[in-house]
Structure 1
Amino acid sequence: MDLVERYLQFAGSTLDETGQIGVRYFRQPIDIAQKADASPVTVADIEIEAMIRDRIAQAYPSHGILGEEQDSVNPSAELCWVIDPIDGTKSFISGMPLWGTLIALLKDSRPVFGIIDVPALGERYVSTLGRGTERNGQSIRTSNCDELRACNMFATSPDMFSATEFQVFDSLSRRARFRRFGGDCYTYAMLAAGKIDAVIEAGLKPYDYLPVAPIVTGAGGFMTDWNGKPLTPSSDGRVIAAATPELHRALLEETVKLQQTEIKFAAS
């Protein structure tokens, strides 16, 4: 067994445990706190991340950790784990089953693998560098949509965009076949599974986009920032994910044009 496979098995067994925590609290009375940025956090978020961090510290004490609920630990380490204990906390609180736990392992700031674990639905999406994307062990692929006018486009919430960013998204998405909001990490899972054609978002953190990027690309899709650059821990949180290179290119070209137009308009 190579090291990557060993790390992957470690992540999978850890998620088997954390999934039980999430399901135990899901749709039950639960205390909700607000973080400094006004986003909600629950005891489930805190317990899940604490368990993952504890497992990593015991098994791989030299590795770095970048998580949502606690301070980073040695983030410049050659190998660094990225954790989002509950991506979609608002969905979790609302009883919607589309929340998930996200994990990625980075080597020199690039994902080696990514995982989207969706305990309420019993689905786990895994992509390892060079091995494709699987849902519960079965290979999945993105759609073959290659035109803006033919795609269905998603974003988690209009509230995540700045005013200028939303003008870009609004102009672009109104030219798509249709657009929808909601879904959090599950939209990227459905993009990888060929059900959604494009996702355009802003305001994301590294623990939001680094674990899902391998899921999309491993299934045949493309995912970059709004300028077409690869996603790294220092990216600005604006992402374009698409089912095909042709669709990604079309979205990227239009996004760049619209950004320039909106910036000129705002400055005038």
Structure 2
Amino acid sequence: MDYQLFLMKTLADASQMARDHFGRVTSATKNGDTSQVVTEADIEIGRMMCEEIKRTYPTHNILDEETGIVNKHSPYTWVIDPIDGTSNFAQASPLYGCMLGLLKDHEPVAGGFALPAFHEIYTAERGKGAYCNQQRVRVQDEEELLLSSLIAYGVEGHQDDPNRTRKECELLAEIILACRSIQNSSSVFDAAMVVKGVYGGFLYQNCKIWDNVAQQILLEEAGAVYTDFFGQPIDYRNPLMKVTETFSFCAAPPALHRQLQQIISTWSRSSTRM
């Protein structure tokens, strides 16, 4: 099935809604967690995407970060992040995006994301390549050295376990020393930069299912390897049951992915011995 037109139209509508709200929103934190922010734009865009899916694919499941779950007992599940990088969006930073991905059983098969502030829409379907505004895009050459690459690393403070944050920063230091520079929008903007070959990789240890599905299909179709943080396949089985589960990812062209995994593996072994 061809999902290209649906993704393009829905993400274009979401982008316009986000631009209409940009700089004019109020925000609140979820459950008192200052790192998790929601605005009225998140709610409105999520509802719009859900309605479009119900209208176009009425038998498909839906998992939306803000509005919840629609269970049609289908092998197909749409996974929505209305605004990824809401903290940025709420502060009028342009480094945010809208994400929409599709799982068939446990495999991402189609997806897209938009960068509204940059008027860019990215789409991909399994086996058909990755596109930005309908132009083919690719990750960096796989023989690129990590030392000459920009690497994006999303990190959040763990207020309930500050030592976890301190340990993660030790690993981050090892990656910083091995690459040209670290970038951090903690949003799908960083994934877009990898898809276009601007950045060499993007890593995150603490995210959710809706942060992964759309960008995984884009990055893989652009030539990247996309795994969990420690190099293992991501488990999307029973996606409607994974709303509260913590996910992670490591995405990069094959050679850079191997280099990043070597750093992570070496650090993990030394950290365990400490």
Return the TM-score normalized by structure 2.
Answer: 0.87
- Alpha-carbon deviation of 1:23? 0.8
Tell me, in whole angstroms, the C-alpha distance in 1 between the residues paired with 2:156 and 2:79: 25
Q: Does 1:134 align with 2:131?
A: yes
- Alpha-carbon deviation of 1:45? 0.3
Higher RCO (CA-CA < 8 Å; seq separation 6+): 2
Map of 1:54-203 to 2, 5 A cutoff?
54-74=51-71, 77-144=74-141, 145-159=143-157, 162-182=165-185, 184-203=187-206
Taking only aligned residues, the RMSD between alpha carbons, in angstroms, comes to: 2.0
User: 10, 14, 27: which one pairs with 1:18?
Assistant: 14
Q: 1:142 to 1:75 in 2, by over 3 A?
A: farther
What's the counterpart of residue 267 of structure 2? 258
- Alpha-carbon deviation of 1:157? 3.6
CA contact (8 A) 1:168 1:262 kept: no
Structure 2: runs of 5 or more not aligned? 159-163, 237-241
Cα deviation, 1:100-159, whole Å, max 9, x if unaligned, reads 110101101211112011122110111111111111011111112532222211123453
What's the counterpart of residue 30 of structure 2? 35
Tell me, in whole angstroms, the C-alpha distance in 1 between the residues paired with 2:172 and 2:67: 32
Between 123-132 and 49-58, the greater mean CA deviation after superposition: 49-58
2:249 aligned partner, one-letter code: V
Tell me, in whole angstroms, the C-alpha distance in 2 between the residues paired with 1:109 and 1:165: 29
CA contact (8 A) 2:110 2:124 kept: yes
Map of 1:213-232 to 2, 5 A cutoff?
213-232=216-235
Between 105-114 and 224-233, the greater mean CA deviation after superposition: 224-233
1:221 aligned partner, one-letter code: A
- Alpha-carbon deviation of 1:76? 6.0
What SS does the aligned partner of 1:72 have?
strand
What SS does the aligned partner of 1:211 have?
helix
What SS does the aligned partner of 2:68 have?
coil
Tell me, in whole angstroms, the C-alpha distance in 2 between the residues paired with 1:68 and 1:220: 27
CA contact (8 A) 1:104 1:211 kept: yes
Q: 1:21 to 1:131 in 2, by over 3 A?
A: same
Tell me, in whole angstroms, the C-alpha distance in 2 between the residues paired with 1:173 and 1:20: 36
Q: Does 1:241 align with 2:263?
A: no
CA contact (8 A) 2:84 2:96 kept: yes
Q: Does 1:8 align with 2:4?
A: yes
Cα deviation, 1:228-267, whole Å, max 9, x if unaligned, reads 222233684221111x2111111112212212222332xx
- Percent identity, aligned pairs only, is 30
What SS does the aligned partner of 2:207 have?
coil
Tell me, in whole angstroms, the C-alpha distance in 2 between the residues paired with 1:100 and 1:223: 19
CA contact (8 A) 1:227 1:252 kept: yes
2:173 aligned partner, one-letter code: D
Tell me, in whole angstroms, the C-alpha distance in 1 between the residues paired with 2:262 and 2:74: 35
Structure 1: runs of 5 or more not aligned? none
What's the counterpart of residue 211 of structure 1? 214
Q: 1:75 to 1:34 in 2, by over 3 A?
A: farther
Tell me, in whole angstroms, the C-alpha distance in 2 between the residues paired with 1:59 and 1:132: 23
What SS does the aligned partner of 1:96 have?
coil
Tell me, in whole angstroms, the C-alpha distance in 2 between the residues paired with 1:228 and 1:101: 26
Tell me, in whole angstroms, the C-alpha distance in 1 between the residues paired with 2:79 and 2:28: 23
Tell me, in whole angstroms, the C-alpha distance in 2 between the residues paired with 1:238 and 1:130: 24
